[in-house]
Amino acid sequence: MLNYTQTTASLPQTEMKKKEPAGKSQKINIIKQLKAQRRKQRFVMSGTFFLLTGAIIAVFFLKDEFEQLNLDRLSTNWGLALLLLTGVLFLFQACFFIYNIILYFRYKLIKSVSDDLLPVCTVIVPAYNEGRLVFDTLVSLAKSNYPEAKLEIMAIDDGSKDDTWQWMQRAKAELGDRISICQQPENRGKRHALYRGFQSGRGDVFVTVDSDSVVMHDTLRNLVSPFVANKNCGAVAGNVRVLNNKKAIIPKMLNVSFAMSFEFMRSAESALGSVMCTPGALAAYRRDAVFNCLEEWIDQSFMGQPSNIGEDRAMTNMILKQGHHVVFQKNAVVFTNVPEKLNGLSKMFIRWGRSNIRENIMMSKFIFAKFREGSRIGARLLFINQLIRIIMAYPLILLMLLFVATHPLLFLSSTLVGILVFSSFSVLFYSKKHTVKGAFWAYSYSILYTFCLFWITPYAIATMGRSGWLTRELVQEKSIT
């Protein structure tokens, strides 16, 4: 980051004296906030381990009740059918998990190519009410070790109501011809801002970056290299990590969740050439693949409404449909801001859930056809797994509510033990790839999602025709520390 604070040596002595108390007071407030944050973190982590330990003890003492419950179920036809269905689903998920582990170890990172082989690249940064964050994004992109003559950076203000445009102008003034900036006449949504970038960009490869994200110096060249190595590569997904994971508890949880979602799941999908979604925070697309579906993409509608959300998943679907491979580059890292409060998190998940349902419906129209040469079984298994999750959303939530109503203690203890067992893989994975200390937030995240966000998928299904962004109305802190 660039430092724009004036040096104390250049300040008059009277000004220095005036600024010292304010600076000292600010430092004290920051220290207080950090201490309060640490107390909250210790409380949540202690509560997590208290619940999990209590659940293990409860299961031990309630083993007779569990045995009786299973006997009661076996004595009725519906109970037997329920156990059979549960067993089949568990077996499928277990086999699918093992399959993903095998694919994960088959994943091969594509090495960065030399400067002379890198294609001309257009980076598009759409922004809406991001303030200072967009400046930091543009600075990080300009610092990339991508050949300057082959790099075009475009920032598009989508009718922001705050000072986003002023921060873009500041970036333009400091970075010069390395970036170009433009304004939409009115707020039309991220998809239309990207469309403008696609239409005017000169690159052979388009890279899309969210305006609250920061890239590493080698991110762009690592992201673009697969297009050179694999002529059938149509899109590349970047590796998204959490930028504000030091500021709040929810980002710490999502930091572990993102590691699993990207470094494990997308690595497995990449081994099949079938990454299901290129993230909006960082993705790259071959120019020809984009223009083959651009008009269909911008005019996409669902249930009679324009599709204003899930533009990344929609583009991925359309590129897969063309027969291209979509891969993941683990070393193309971007750090992005995520919601820090439960309200913002739930709205983000609802938006993702709605677009996921819509695009699975779209995918069902081509996934079982001969949409590309070579094996298509892996891509179909990925689709079937997602489809099962959607189909079973309502039955599972009804069964959960029934279990809670009839056997609340058995439900609570068995669910927590299940969280302990199934989240341990995430803990081990994150410990291996990152830090042991941060890994334990996987348990807290699983508890949060199971008991506070279980309704997301059923609600997304019930409201899948809505296409509002939701989180744009949230008041968020516009700063990067």
| Domains of the chain, CATH where assigned | 35-481 (3.90.550.10)
| Cα–Cα distance measured from residue 95 to residue 92, given in angstroms and rounded to the nearest whole number | 5
| Cα–Cα distance measured from residue 213 to residue 244, given in angstroms and rounded to the nearest whole number | 10
How is residue 474 written in tokens? 């949230």
Mean pLDDT for the stretch of residues 338-357: 97
Q: What pLDDT, on a 0 to 100 scale, did the predictor assign at position 480?
A: 34
| Cα–Cα distance measured from residue 287 to residue 205, given in angstroms and rounded to the nearest whole number | 5
Mean pLDDT for the stretch of residues 349-355: 97
H/E segment holding residue 382: helix 377-391
Confidence of residue 19 (pLDDT cuts 50, 70, 90): very low
Confidence of residue 273 (pLDDT cuts 50, 70, 90): very high
Residue found under tokens 């516009």: 478
For residue 7, is pLDDT > 90?
A: no
| Cα–Cα distance measured from residue 450 to residue 362, given in angstroms and rounded to the nearest whole number | 28
Confidence of residue 470 (pLDDT cuts 50, 70, 90): low
Confidence of residue 474 (pLDDT cuts 50, 70, 90): very low
How is residue 173 written in tokens? 């003034």
How is residue 208 written in tokens? 């899309």
* DSSP letter for each residue of 332-345: EEEEE---SSHHHH
Picking from 229, 240, 316, 237, the residue whose alpha carbon sits closest to that of residue 270 is 237
Q: What pLDDT, on a 0 to 100 scale, did the predictor assign at position 176?
A: 94
Buried b (16+ CB within 10 A) or exposed e, 39-54: eeeeebbeebeebbee
Query: At 306, is the secondary structure helix, strand, or coil?
Result: strand
Q: What pLDDT, on a 0 to 100 scale, did the predictor assign at position 471?
A: 56
- % of residues, the chain, pLDDT over 90: 85
Confidence of residue 31 (pLDDT cuts 50, 70, 90): confident
Mean pLDDT for the stretch of residues 112-138: 97
Q: pLDDT tens digits for 318-337?
A: 999 999 999 999 999 999 99
In Å, what is the CA distance from 97 to each residue of 264, 265, 276, 389? 11, 10, 16, 14
For residue 69, is pLDDT > 60?
A: yes
For residue 98, is pLDDT > 50?
A: yes
Q: pLDDT tens digits for 421-437?
A: 999 999 999 999 999 99
Q: Are 474 and 344 in contact (CB under 8 A)?
A: yes
Average pLDDT of the chain to the nearest whole number: 92
| Cα–Cα distance measured from residue 387 to residue 98, given in angstroms and rounded to the nearest whole number | 19
For residue 200, is pLDDT > 80?
A: yes
AA identity, residue 407: H
| Cα–Cα distance measured from residue 325 to residue 373, given in angstroms and rounded to the nearest whole number | 10
* DSSP letter for each residue of 179-225: EEEEE-SS---HHHHHHHHHHH---SEEEEE-TTEEE-TTHHHHHHH
Query: At 313, is the secondary structure helix, strand, or coil?
Result: helix
Q: What pLDDT, on a 0 to 100 scale, did the predictor assign at position 4?
A: 36
Length of the chain: 481
For residue 14, is pLDDT > 70?
A: no
Q: Are 369 and 321 in contact (CB under 8 A)?
A: no
Q: pLDDT tens digits for 225-270?
A: 999 999 999 999 999 999 999 889 999 999 999 999 999 999 999 9
Q: pLDDT tens digits for 364-403?
A: 999 999 999 999 999 999 999 999 999 999 999 999 999 9
Q: What pLDDT, on a 0 to 100 scale, did the predictor assign at position 475?
A: 39
| Cα–Cα distance measured from residue 460 to residue 334, given in angstroms and rounded to the nearest whole number | 28
Q: What angle do CA 270, 190, 209 make, to 5 degrees?
A: 45
Q: What pLDDT, on a 0 to 100 scale, did the predictor assign at position 21?
A: 55
Q: Half-sphere exposure of 91 toward its Cβ, with a 13 Å CA cutoff?
A: 6
How is residue 203 written in tokens? 């690159």
Answer yes or no: pTM beyond 0.85. Answer: yes
For residue 9, is pLDDT > 60?
A: no
How is residue 240 written in tokens? 């998204």
